[in-house]
Amino acid sequence: MADVAFRLAAPSRRLTSGAVAGALVLASAYLLPPLVGSTYLFEAILLPFLALSLAGLGLNLLTGYAGQLSLGSAAFMAVGAYAAFNFDLRVPGLPFVGSLILGGLSAAAVGLAFGLPSLRLRGFYLAVSTLAAQFFVQWALNKFDWFSNGSASGVVRAPDIVLAGHVIDGPVERYLFALTVVVAATLFAVRLANSQTGRNFIAVRDNETAARIVGVPVLRTKLVAFAVSSFIIGVAGALWSFAYLRTIEPAGFNLDRSFQILFIVIIGGLASIRGAFFGAALIVVLPLALSRLGQAAFGGAFDSGVLELSQRVLLGALIIAFLIAEPKGLVALADRARARALRPFLKPPYGG
Amino acid sequence: MSTSTIAAPRAATEGARAADASAPALEVAGVSLAFGGVTALTGVDLKVAEGEIFSVIGPNGAGKSSLINVVSGLYRPNAGCVLIGRKSFAAVPAAALASLGVARTFQNLALFNGLDVAGNVAMGLAHQDRTGLFGQIVGSPGARAEEARSLVTEILAFIELTAIADRAPGTLPYGVRKRVELARALVSRPKLLLLDEPMAGMNAAEKADMVRFVRAARDRWGATVVLIEHDIGVVMEISDRIAVLDHGRKIADGAPAEVRDDKGVIDAYLGVAHDDDEIPLELAGAA
C-alpha cells in the first residue's frame, strides 16, 4: 500500500485490492465495535490503540521513511495535548477540531525546533539530541503552571470534546471520534508517503549524497519530516488525553512513552503505514493477554509486580527477536503469511 | 604543468552561452585538492568540448574520483575553479547540480533501496518538482507528473529495465544496478554526464551494453560525457579524448592513439605496482 513508490504500468491490481481491503477494515472498524463491544474493550484496548497507532504513524514518517531517529515522541505528544487544552480553554468559540489542529501545529513548531540538529547530526547523535526535547518539555510543563491552568501537579481534567454543539460522551462516541481523526491522519500519511516529498524522505534516508546530487532539498526535506511527524504525534497526544485518559498529565508523556512508540514502529515495521497499527495492537494487547495468561497459570502469585516485570522481559525479547529475525517487522510477517495463503490462487507475479 | 590559478568571474550570465557555441561544456582550471596533508589533485586543467566523450584514466589513487567529486560539488577545491557551461564556480553547489544540467553516477552504487527501479529513476527528476507539500497531498498529479512518467518510461525502455521496473534494487545483480543508476542520471536529459567507473565489476556482455548506452547518451540525447574507467579497451574504443592522471597531476591529454603511445603514460602504468586484478593496457581492443 504505502510501499508503492512509483507505479508505472500496472497500478490497477495492487491498488484496487488495497482499496478494497482498506474499505473493509474501515467499515468493520466503524460498525463492529459499537455493535458488539463492551466498555472494557473501548476503554482498555481500542482507545489507547488508536492514540498509540497515530503516534506510531507520526514517528514512522520521521524514522521509518526519512531515517531520522527520534526519542522525543512523548514530548511532542505532550505539546499537542497541552496546546489543545490551552487553545480550548483560552480561545472562546474555537471548535474542538480547531483546538486539535492548533495543538498539532504547536507540536509541529516544537518538532521543527528540535529537528534543527538533524541538519548536522545523524543516527545515534541525533537521537540523543531529541532526548533534549523530552526533558525540556516535561520540565517546562512542571515548572510553569500556566500550561495546566494553575494546577500545581500539572494534572488537569480534560474538557469535554464538543462537536457542533454535541458533547462527545461515552466510550463509543469517543471511539468513533478518535477513529475518524486517525482515519483522516492515515489518509494524509498515505498521500504523503506516495508523494514526491515521501520519495524524498526515502532518498534522504537511503543515500543522502545521491539525494543531494539529484536535487532533493535535503535540509528542507528533513525539517518537513520533523514538522509533519510532530504534527501527527501532537494530535495523537491530544487524542490520548482527551479521548482515552480524560486527564492531561506530564507523567504520561515521559521517556518510557517515547520508547514505547519507537518499539511500536520497530515491531510493527519501519517505513510502512500499516506497521504502526500492527505494532500498537501488539503493545496494547500484550500486557492484557499476559495478565490473563499469568492469572490462569499461576493464580494469585501473578500479581501486578510480576506482570510488570514479565511484560518488560517479554517486550525486550520481542524487540531483539524482531531486530535480528525480521527487521521489517510484523508487516513483513503478515505479507508473507498472506502471500503463502493466496499462492494457490494467483499466477506468478513476473509472468513466467 | 601550468598551474594557472584563474581568478574567474563569479557567475557568468546564462545568456552568454548562446553567443559562443564553442564554449567547452566543462572546464577545470588549476584545481588543487588536499585532505589535510594528503594531496589528491595538483593544478589539474581540463577542457571538455560539448558533445565529447572524455575519459579520465590513471592508476588507483591517481585522483580520478576526487576530480569528479570536485566537478559535482561534493569536494571543495583548495585552488582553481570549475566552469560548467559558461558559469564559473570556486566550489560547485552540489544541491544545484541537477538544475545546472549535470548528472552523475557513483563508483560505489548509490541507489535508493527503499524505492523500486522506476522510483529510483524518477528521482533523477526530483529537482524539477516545484509543487508544495499541500499541493502534493491534496492535488491530483498534473501535467508535469504525466511528463515525468513518460520520461521515466522512455528511459527504462531504452536502458532495458522495463521488465524489472517494480523490483527493489537490492534484489538485482550488480551490473543491472549500475544500469539503474545510469538511467537515473539520464532521465533528466543532462547536458553533462559524469560517470565514475560505470563498468566496474561487469562481464564482457554487460560492458558492451554499457558502451552502447554511454554512446547513446551522447548521440541520442546530446550529453557531454566525462567517464572514469579502468578498462583501457573500453576507454580506447569509446573516447574522443582521454586525460591521464597520476598522483593527482595530469600527465597526458589527447586523442586515444596519442595517449596510448605516450611514454609518460606507459611509465605511470607500468611503474606503479597494482595488487588488484586490473591489468589495464593488456585489454586494448576488448569489449
Of the pLDDT bands very low, low, confident and very high (cuts 50, 70, 90), residue A15 is: low
Task: Quote the cell numbers at residue B48.
Answer: 571538455
Tens of pLDDT, residue by residue over A277-307, are 999 999 999 888 888 888 888 887 888 888 8
- The C-alpha atoms of residue A169 and residue A208 are separated, in whole angstroms, by 48
Q: What is the pLDDT of residue A347?
A: 58
**Quick check: A212 pLDDT over 70?**
yes
Tens of pLDDT, residue by residue over B155-185, are 999 999 999 999 999 999 999 999 999 999 9
Confirm if B118 and B152 have CB atoms less than 8 A apart.
yes
Q: What's chain A's average pLDDT?
A: 88
Q: What is the pLDDT of residue B285?
A: 44
Q: What is the pLDDT of residue A293?
A: 87
Q: What is the pLDDT of residue B139?
A: 75
- Please name the residues between 187 and 206 in chain A that touch chain B, using a CB distance below 8 Å: 188, 191-192, 195-197, 199-200, 202-203, 205-206
Q: What is the pLDDT of residue A349?
A: 53
Q: What is the mean pLDDT of residues B187-193?
A: 95
**Quick check: B133 pLDDT over 90?**
no
Look up residue B203 and give its amino acid.
Answer: N
Confirm if A129 and A243 have CB atoms less than 8 A apart.
no
A6 in reach of chain B (CB within 8 A): yes
**Quick check: B57 pLDDT over 70?**
yes
Residue-by-residue DSSP string for A2-15:
TT-----S--HHHH
**Quick check: B37 pLDDT over 50?**
yes
Of the pLDDT bands very low, low, confident and very high (cuts 50, 70, 90), residue A346 is: low
- Please name the residues between 225 and 244 in chain A that touch chain B, using a CB distance below 8 Å: 228
In Å, how far is A315's CA from the nearest CA of chain B?
Answer: 27
Q: Which of A196, A201, A204, A219 to mutate to test the interface with B (most CBs of B within 10 A)?
A: A196
A296 in reach of chain B (CB within 8 A): no
Q: What's chain B's average pLDDT?
A: 85
Task: Name chain B contacts of A191, Cβ cutoff 8 Å.
Answer: 136-138
Of the pLDDT bands very low, low, confident and very high (cuts 50, 70, 90), residue B270 is: low
**Quick check: A67 pLDDT over 70?**
yes
Q: Look at B111 and A207 and tell me if their CB atoms are within 8 Å.
A: yes
Task: Quote the cell numbers at residue A38.
Answer: 463492551
Higher pLDDT, B275 or A237: A237
**Quick check: B4 pLDDT over 50?**
no
- All domains of chain A, ordered by start, with CATH? 31-345 (1.10.3470)
**Quick check: B2 pLDDT over 60?**
no
Higher pLDDT, A3 or B125: B125
Confirm if B141 and B89 have CB atoms less than 8 A apart.
no
| Out of A191, A197, A202, closest to residue B115 by CB | A202
Of the pLDDT bands very low, low, confident and very high (cuts 50, 70, 90), residue A14 is: low
Q: What is the pLDDT of residue A50?
A: 96
- All domains of chain B, ordered by start, with CATH? 1-101+193-198+224-287 (3.40.50.300)
- The C-alpha atoms of residue A229 and residue A221 are separated, in whole angstroms, by 12
Q: What is the pLDDT of residue B271?
A: 62
Q: What is the mean pLDDT of residues A170-180?
A: 93
Q: What is the mean pLDDT of residues B130-138?
A: 78
Q: What is the pLDDT of residue A39?
A: 86
Of the pLDDT bands very low, low, confident and very high (cuts 50, 70, 90), residue A228 is: very high
Q: What is the pLDDT of residue B241?
A: 95
CA distances from B92 to A64, A224, B56, B156 (A): 32, 26, 19, 29
User: Which chain A residue shows the shortest CA-CA distance from B116?
Assistant: A5
Q: Which of B104, B107, B121, B137 to mutate to test the interface with A (most CBs of A within 10 A)?
A: B137
Q: What is the mean pLDDT of residues A46-51?
A: 95
| N- to C-terminal Cα separation, chain B | 34
- The C-alpha atoms of residue A57 and residue A73 are separated, in whole angstroms, by 11
Q: Look at A215 and B111 and tell me if their CB atoms are within 8 Å.
A: no
Tens of pLDDT, residue by residue over B199-244, are 988 999 999 999 999 999 999 988 999 999 988 899 999 999 999 9
Q: Is the ipTM of this complex over 0.85?
A: no
Q: What is the mean pLDDT of residues A27-40?
A: 86
Q: What is the mean pLDDT of residues A135-157?
A: 88
**Quick check: B287 pLDDT over 70?**
no
Tens of pLDDT, residue by residue over B78-132, are 999 999 988 999 999 999 999 999 999 999 999 999 999 999 999 999 988 777 7
- The C-alpha atoms of residue A208 and residue A205 are separated, in whole angstroms, by 6
Q: What is the mean pLDDT of residues B67-85?
A: 94
**Quick check: A6 pLDDT over 70?**
no
Q: What is the pLDDT of residue B71?
A: 96
Q: What is the pLDDT of residue A284?
A: 92
Task: Quote the cell numbers at residue A137.
Answer: 518539555
Q: Look at B72 and A8 and tell me if their CB atoms are within 8 Å.
A: no
DSSP B285: T
Confirm if A81 and A199 have CB atoms less than 8 A apart.
no
Of the pLDDT bands very low, low, confident and very high (cuts 50, 70, 90), residue B12 is: very low
- Please name the residues between 95 and 134 in chain B that touch chain A, using a CB distance below 8 Å: 95-99, 103-104, 106, 110-116, 118-119, 122-124, 126-129, 131, 133
Q: Which of A3, A4, A6 to mutate to test the interface with B (most CBs of B within 10 A)?
A: A6
Question: Max alpha carbon distance in chain A (Å)?
Answer: 70
Sign of CA dihedral B186, B188, B193, B197: negative
Of the pLDDT bands very low, low, confident and very high (cuts 50, 70, 90), residue A129 is: confident
**Share above pLDDT 70 across residues of chain A, in percent, rounded to a whole number:** 93
Look up residue A49 and give its amino acid.
Answer: F
- Please name the residues between 133 and 162 in chain B that touch chain A, using a CB distance below 8 Å: 133, 136-138, 149, 152-153, 156, 162
User: Which chain A residue shows the shortest CA-CA distance from B167?
Assistant: A350
Q: Look at A8 and B166 and tell me if their CB atoms are within 8 Å.
A: yes
